[in-house]
């Protein structure tokens, strides 16, 4: 496939950011737009140019799996532990995004709390960061509407996620004539709500898995559109921070990413799976009929995926999947590789599971208190942005 200059630029930026992530998160200063006379002086005093806002979100659509963990949650925790005190950290459980596909109301309610418990279990401390439910801060949807007035349907129609979701488990693309009937507006405009999530907190950095790159490019497009339509310099251009474990693949089909919604539970390992389940899932992971570990990402995607998982769970000292394949794991049998992966994954998940049980033991009341504290902090963060936005658009009197 021919790669465009912008894709290559993206990859270069991605590699740079990954190095920064690895090198203890010495993040670049946030990229601001042109200096503007619009911003009232007190605002620029409030938000010094070195102030960084890290924002990310996860859908409460099931127990997070090791793809979510390696692609997003582990980098969130690293940022949480290493970012300086002048950096705000905001993590959102995006329940409004979760209703863009068919769902059950009672199950959603349960999953929201489960996700909050999982975020606490990975070690996010609600006194250091903001943890909240998206729907509890109406400014997210309010900004979405305002941004939608400048969002191009042409751009949205070229985005991949709604096509993938509409296709479901079928391997052929959506039938174009059926697609528009089945395509609901909420799913189509999903990226606008995601842009609003980020921009309402004037986030400077967004740590996500590889699959979210396109959505964040769209968020930057929303910044350009907004600033072109209304004078002002309200939003920084949010930078995408892609985790070194860019994309963990399904254990049953190594061309599909590991997903919470895949029908087969055997395709994933969830953060709450016990050691026995982890061993069984890894033992049953599809690889190929060649024996012995080699580094051939194109020809051996299943083996490569296991090596990626192993590298990510190896922790310090950091090694890449390729280094493992060409060093320590060179030529070892598939059985040994799988045993090693299962052992490291169980080791890595052990502490999280223990904390998850502790958090759940504290009951729903505790989780609801954490969410309420988060709501208050998130609403405060969004309030100032909305004041500036409404003033720029002409909504504020």
Residues within the interface to ligand TRP (CB under 6 A) = 55-59, 94, 97, 194, 197-198, 206, 208, 212, 215
Residue nearest to ligand AMP (CB): 71
The residues, any chain, with a CB within 8 Å of residue 95's CB and separated by 6 or more, are: 59, 60, 108, 112, 133, 134, 135
Which option in ligand AMP, ligand TRP, none does residue 260 bind, with CB closer than 5 to 8 A by kind? Answer: ligand AMP
CB closer to ligand TRP, 212 vs 381? 212
Residue 58 sits in the site that holds ligand AMP (CB under 6 A): yes
Find out whether 275 and 297 touch, Cβ atoms under 8 Å.
no
In the complex with ligand TRP, the residue whose CB is nearer, 194 or 233, is 194
SS3 assignment, position 91: strand
Residues 97, 387: Cα–Cα separation, whole Å: 24
Residue 232 or residue 348: which is nearer to ligand AMP going by CB?
Answer: 348
**Rounded to whole angstroms, how far apart are CA atoms 386 and 277?**
47
- The residue whose Cβ lies closest to ligand TRP is 57
Q: Which of residues 238-257 bind ligand AMP (CB under 6 A)?
A: 247-248, 257
Q: What is the DSSP letter of 29?
A: P
| Number of C-beta neighbours around residue 321 at 10 A | 23
Contact status: 198 vs ligand AMP (CB under 6 A): no
Distance set, CA 14 to CA 80, 232, 243, 291 (Å): 20, 29, 9, 33
Contact window for ligand AMP (CB under 6 A) among 63-71, 146-154, 269-277, 337-345: 63-71
Catalytic residue among 165, 266, 377, 390: 165
Is 260 considered catalytic here?
Answer: yes
Comparison of 78 and 247: residue with beta carbon closer to ligand AMP: 247
Q: Work out how close the CB of 207 gets to ligand TRP at its nearest, in angstroms, rounded to a whole number.
A: 8
Active site residue 165: yes
Nearest approach, Cβ of residue 73 and ligand AMP (Å)? 7
Q: Which of 78, 163, 184, 260 is catalytic?
A: 260
What separation in angstroms does the CA of 313 have from each of 63, 247, 310, 318, 378? 19, 14, 5, 9, 32
């Amino acid at each position: 496939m021919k790669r465009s200059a912008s894709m290559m630029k993206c990859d270069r930026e991605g590699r740079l950011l990954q190095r920064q992530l690895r090198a203890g998160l010495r993040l670049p200063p946030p990229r601001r737009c042109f200096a503007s006379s619009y911003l009232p002086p007190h605002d620029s005093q409030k938000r010094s140019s070195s102030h960084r806002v890290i924002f990310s979100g996860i859908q409460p659509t099931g127990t997070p799996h090791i793809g979510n963990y390696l692609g997003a949650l582990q980098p969130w925790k690293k940022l949480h532990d290493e970012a300086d005190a002048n950096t705000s950290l905001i993590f959102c459980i995006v329940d409004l995004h979760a209703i863009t596909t068919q769902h059950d109301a009672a199950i959603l309610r349960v999953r929201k709390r489960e996700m909050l418990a999982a975020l606490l279990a990975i070690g996010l401390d609600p006194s250091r960061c903001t943890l909240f439910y998206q729907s509890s801060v109406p400014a997210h949807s309010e900004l979405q509407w305002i941004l939608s007035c400048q969002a191009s349907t042409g751009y949205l129609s070229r985005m991949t996620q709604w096509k993938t979701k509409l296709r479901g488990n079928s391997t052929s693309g959506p039938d174009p004539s059926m697609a528009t009937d089945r395509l609901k507006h909420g799913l189509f405009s999903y990226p606008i709500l995601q842009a609003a999530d980020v921009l309402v907190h004037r986030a400077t950095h967004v740590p996500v898995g590889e699959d979210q790159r396109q959505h964040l490019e769209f968020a930057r497009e929303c910044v350009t559109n907004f600033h072109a339509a209304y004078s002002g310099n309200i939003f920084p251009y949010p930078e995408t921070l892609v985790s070194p474990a860019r994309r963990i693949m399904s254990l049953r089909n190594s061309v599909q990413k590991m997903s919470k919604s895949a029908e087969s539970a055997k395709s994933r390992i969830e953060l709450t799976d016990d050691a026995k389940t982890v061993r069984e899932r890894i033992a049953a992971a599809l690889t190929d009929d060649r024996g012995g570990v080699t580094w051939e990402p194109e020809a051996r995607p299943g083996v490569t995926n296991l090596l990626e998982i192993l590298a990510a769970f190896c922790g310090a000292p950091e090694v890449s999947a390729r280094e493992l394949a060409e060093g320590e794991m060179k030529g070892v049998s598939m059985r040994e590789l799988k045993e090693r992966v299962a052992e490291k994954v169980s080791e890595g998940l052990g502490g999280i599971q223990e904390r998850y049980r502790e958090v759940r033991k504290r009951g729903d009341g505790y989780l609801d208190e954490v969410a309420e504290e988060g709501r208050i902090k998130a609403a405060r963060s969004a309030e100032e942005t909305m004041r500036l936005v409404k003033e720029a658009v002409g909504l504020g009197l």
